[in-house]
Chains A and B, each alone.
Chain A
């Protein structure tokens, strides 16, 4: 995986997730952050910090990105959501337009 094909997503606790850029682009919000014109730190370093999203939730979101790419390619599996994460994940997903 080439470095320019990846992005870094950083959780509230500072945990870093390095994932495929095309996976992260599943989120409209992240897409906008990474591609917006101008000298934004996000665009330049290809990394985004989410001070409001915990590590557990951000990990789940990264899993969803990959699941969604798989789904699009025809592998229609079920995406598992732990009941206790439901509401927090819902809010984060809403924020990320995902």
Chain B
């Protein structure tokens, strides 16, 4: 059912006047809508980047950082990468990393940690594939041996 609100004259009078959107706000909105087309962000101030970079996916953020060659965007992006890490690998895994860095008194950027973890996982997956492959091979070989043995 459609519902429409009827204002009385008094209500209209007290209805707040819509604020004029600032040009900065309009541009930020546009950047959020078009985040997938962004590349080099040039000299854009950090406090402005803070307003639209959080709308990026992993691939988009990676692309923007790689395209913005002359600048280190990590003051804004580090916490975004940490979010990605939590989302992808879970809070437990994230805490383990934090603890380990504390223990060893080292610190890495979350993008590095994220990429290292992705690589680790890929390698682990590759290894388990290999292991399964070997098992199959062995099975097959045994099967052949069985066949070849004359009864």
Contacts and interface: CB of A to CB of B under 8 A. Distances in A.
A90 B42 contact: no
Interface string B18-34: 10111110111011001
Nearest to A90: B27
A93 B41 contact: no
Contact of A90 (B20, B21, B28, B37): B28
Interface string A55-98: 00000010010001001100010010101001111110110101
B20 A86 contact: no
Chain B interface secondary structure, helix, strand, loop or mixed?
Answer: loop
Interface stretch (B43-51, B77-85, B126-134): B43-51
Chain A interface secondary structure, helix, strand, loop or mixed?
Answer: helix
B18 A81 contact: no
Contacts of B26: 64, 79, 81
A87 B44 contact: yes
Contacts, number: 52
Contacts of A87: 27, 31, 38, 41-42, 44
A68 to B, nearest CB: 5
Nearest to B37: A83
Interface of B: 18, 20-24, 26-28, 30-31, 34, 37-38, 41-45, 48
B20 A98 contact: no
Contact of A89 (B21, B23, B37, B42): B23
B24 A98 contact: yes
Contacts of A83: 30, 34, 37
B45 A91 contact: yes
A89 B45 CA distance: 12
Given A71-B20, A76-B18, A89-B23, A94 B31 contact: no
Contacts of A76: 18
B55 to A, nearest CB: 13
Contacts of A91: 43-45, 48
Contact of A64 (B23, B34, B38): B23
Given A83-B34, A86-B30, A86-B31, A93 B22 contact: yes
7 contacts: A68-B23, A83-B30, A83-B37, A93-B27, A94-B24, A98-B22, A98-B23
